[in-house]
Structure 1
Amino acid sequence: ITVIRVPAESVEKYKTAAGWQDYTNKIQAS
């Protein structure tokens, strides 16, 4: 997985959510 697209308003929530921290550099707004 190179990019994880999430709703723009949720980017920060994903980056701080348990289990998602390993992927913060891949999370982008869709």
Structure 2
Amino acid sequence: MAKNTAQLFSLFGLANLVLARRQLLASPGSIAS
């Protein structure tokens, strides 16, 4: 069961990263680089 939870968390983290990246790319004006 712990293994499944770890997999779930890693998947959730990956999805979060992708979503955050997409949001940042959608609004390039928010980053001052």
Q: TM-score, normalised by structure 2?
A: 0.24
Structure with bigger helix share is 2
Larger Rg, first or second structure (1 or 2): 2
Structure with bigger strand share is 1
Between the two structures, name the one with larger relative contact order (CA 8 Å, sep ≥ 6). 1
